[in-house]
Amino acid sequence: MKLQKFITNSIDFFYPAFRPLMSVQMFRYGVCGVANMMLDWVLYFLSYNFVLQKQVLDFGFVAFTPHIGSLVISFPITFFTGFLLSKYISFQQSALKWKTQLLRYLMVVLGCLLINYVCLKLFVEICHFYPTPSKMITTIFTVLFSYFSQKNFSFKK
């Protein structure tokens, strides 16, 4: 709990400048979301360029193109960091049991994963954009969907 308090206090230190613009909960969610998003981008970049080396991720029974394979690699890590940040930093007041929160969080994240998949397919394979910028553009859509879903569904009071 010391880590939770440290992270919360560190984020809240910067909140007064944003008080006229948003609630403390939205500010915490934004900071945690940006941190998790940056982690996701770094993991995606490293996975695409160094782990997969722009090669197909082949499990034998299913194969993923490099840009989708990188998503498969980065997703489990950012799923758990995102849940922990949401539960313990952004939405501390939720009285729902952690198992309920986790299941609901998973459902919302699967929606985000579907948005990621469709957008990456569209941007990379149809529009021929570079994978990493495509991932960044896709994030805009997932952030909007995620915040309102997590606030009103996964971690509702």
- Domain segments of the chain as ranges: 2-154
Q: Which residues of 36-66 are buried (b: 16+ CB within 10 A; e: fewer)?
A: bbeebbebbeebbeeebeeeebeeeeeebbb
pLDDT tens digits in sequence order for the chain, 157 residues long: 799 999 999 999 999 999 999 999 989 999 999 999 899 989 999 999 999 999 999 999 999 999 889 989 998 999 999 999 999 999 988 888 999 999 999 999 899 889 988 999 999 999 999 988 998 899 888 888 988 898 889 998 7
pTM of the entire predicted model: 0.79
Distance (Å, whole) CA 16 – CA 146: 25
Residue 26 burial by Cβ neighbours in a 10 Å radius (0-12, 13-18, 19+): middle
